[in-house]
Amino acid sequence: MNNIPLLLTATVDPQGMKGANFDPADRAARYVDALNFYVSEFERNPSEPGCIVFAENSGYPAEKVLSRVKKARNVTIEYLNLGTDGFDQSKGKGYNETILLRMAAEQSEAIAEAGCFFKITGRLKVLNIRKMLKECQQRRASAAGLVFLADCKDHRVYEWLHMPINGHAGECRYWFAGRDFFLTEMAPRYAEMNDYASPPVLAEDLMLDVCRKTRGRKDCRDRFRTQARISGKGGHNLGSGSSFFYSTDNDSLPLRIKCGLRQLLRWLLPWWRA
């Protein structure tokens, strides 16, 4: 039985925040598309309940989203309208998303009941989400249990090749955490983040630090066995260069090839965080 809620983070109207892509109508359509995808995925196994927590922090009316989302008997959607108070656009995405996540973890009834959640950036579709949830469930049922599971890059290959690409970053688009672990070990660090500081302190930096600091714990893992297959365009800019390294279009051929190679590496070199 699936008892891990999906926590989708959403800012439908970024209200001119620096670095935010797409206009509100486009963003709303992408969130609706993602919600319909996850409902359909849970609907594939009607005997198992599915739960989606949709946490939105721009004050966008719930009915404008939920009225466009399909209904399924085994799927519940908890819409959290978190409002705009307490957020600071001048510090960028990581700071504000962590506040959003903390508020959602504190207020969501579904997350409180389950004691955990699987976080996904709300506009994106993780095409193999059921397989990733199953991995989390299996690890939770093990003797060691599971309170944190994420992905990260932590290698020096790009440095050895003299390529201007960061080989050390946490994966922030998707990850799993126990509610208590998140609220005590991750959420309090929101104040450290500032996308526009010099040097910037990004969410990916903090996620990598969490991965490194928990690496010796049996109930924490910083590498999924399953490579996430993501559909959708990222709302960020990686720079210019070969699309194999710099594209943010997850449906492009270069990124689909990269995804396949990374799954192969997870099978052959499960210890290498590439």
Identify the DSSP state of 131.
H
Residues 6+ apart with CB under 8 A from 1: 48, 49
Question: 60-76 pLDDT, tens per residue?
Answer: 999 999 999 999 999 99
Query: 259 in a domain, yes or no?
Result: no
Q: What is the CATH number of the domain that holds 48?
A: 3.90.550
CA distance 165 to 173: 19
Query: 256 in a domain, yes or no?
Result: no
Question: 98-157 pLDDT, tens per residue?
Answer: 999 999 999 999 999 999 999 999 999 999 999 999 999 999 999 999 999 999 999 999
- Residue 125 burial (CB count, 10 A): 20
Query: 67 in a domain, yes or no?
Result: yes
Query: 3-state class of 51 per DSSP?
Result: strand
CA distance 104 to 53: 8
Question: Could you tell me the two tokens for 104?
Answer: 């959602």
Query: 243 in a domain, yes or no?
Result: no
pTM of the model: 0.90
pLDDT for 29 beyond 50? yes
- C-beta of residue 121 within 8 angstroms of C-beta of residue 9: yes
Question: Could you tell me the two tokens for 49?
Answer: 């309940």
Please give the C-alpha separations between residue 16 and each of 50, 58, 90, 122, 222, in angstroms, as whole numbers: 34, 11, 11, 19, 34
The CA-CA-CA angle for residues 147, 151, 155, to 5°, reads 130
Task: Give the start-end residues of each E strand in 115-255.
Answer: 116-121, 125-126, 148-149, 152-154, 168-170, 174-178, 220-221, 230-231
Question: 217-274 pLDDT, tens per residue?
Answer: 999 999 999 999 999 776 554 444 454 455 567 778 888 898 999 999 999 999 999 8
- C-beta of residue 87 within 8 angstroms of C-beta of residue 56: no
Query: 3-state class of 102 per DSSP?
Result: helix
Of the pLDDT bands very low, low, confident and very high (cuts 50, 70, 90), residue 21 is low
- For the chain, how many structural domains are there in total? 1
* Structural domain for 141, as ranges: 6-233
Query: 191 in a domain, yes or no?
Result: yes
